Amino acid sequence: MVKLVVLTKEDKNYISKARKLVKKTYLSNKEIISDVFSIIITESGNEFHGVDIENLLPGSGVCAETSALSNMILAGKGNSKLKMVLALYDYRPKYNKDDYQVLPPCKKCRHNLKKFGNPWIIVSKTKKTKL
């Protein structure tokens, strides 16, 4: 059974930060959509960001969490253990609606994230759980 825990003030600050940053990263054209933003935090406090890349060919996109992991590895922190993971879809850039959705990682992302420890995963606007 999954144990859900109430978000801390720090968790809510990461959600606010993600909502500010997601507006800069939104992309939609005829070939590519990028509308999900992720923040991962290592146990040593390093923060890495990622965005999803979707296109018209099924299965060929990149999830925001995997993108953030790639940025962590690129920064030379590939041996880090993760403390927290957040993925967020914000409705403002596309629909001009002041709302957002927290997205739990997909199966592929859960598998990749697990290689870097057992972080907290923010799964809703009010709850988190261990991976």
Q: What are phi and psi of 16, to 5 degrees?
A: -60, -45
Q: Is residue 100 part of a domain?
A: yes
Q: Is residue 93 part of a domain?
A: yes
Say if residue 1's pLDDT is above 80: no
Q: Is residue 78 part of a domain?
A: yes
Q: pTM of the predicted model, to two decimals?
A: 0.90
The CA-based diameter of the chain, rounded to the nearest angstrom, is 42
The pLDDT assigned to 107 comes to 94
| Span 56-98, pLDDT tens digits | 677 778 999 999 999 999 999 999 999 999 999 988 877 888 8
| Mean pLDDT, residues 120-130 | 96
Residue 126 maps to a domain: no
| Residues in contact with 56: Cβ distance below 8 Å, sequence separation at least 6, in sequence order | 31
Domain assignment of residue 110, yes or no: yes
| Cα three-residue angle 39-40-41, rounded to 5 degrees | 125
| pLDDT surpasses 90 at 101 | yes
Q: Is residue 125 part of a domain?
A: no
Whether 130 is covered by a domain: the verdict is no
Residue 26: the pLDDT is 77
CA distance 75 to 80: 11
Which structural domain range is residue 65 located in?
5-120
pLDDT in tens, 2-61: 899 999 999 999 999 999 888 888 777 777 777 899 999 999 999 999 999 887 677 778
Q: For position 19, which CATH number holds?
A: 3.40.140.10
* Predicted pLDDT of residue 56: 65
CA 108, chain centre distance (Å): 13
Q: Tell me which residue of 81, 38, 84 sits closest to 63, measured CA to CA.
A: 38
Dihedral of the alpha carbons of 48, 99, 7, 105, in degrees to the nearest 10: -50
Per DSSP bridges, beta strands 82-90 and 120-122 are parallel
Q: Are 109 and 70 in contact (CB under 8 A)?
A: no
Residue 112 lies in a domain: yes
What total number of domains does the chain contain? Answer: 1
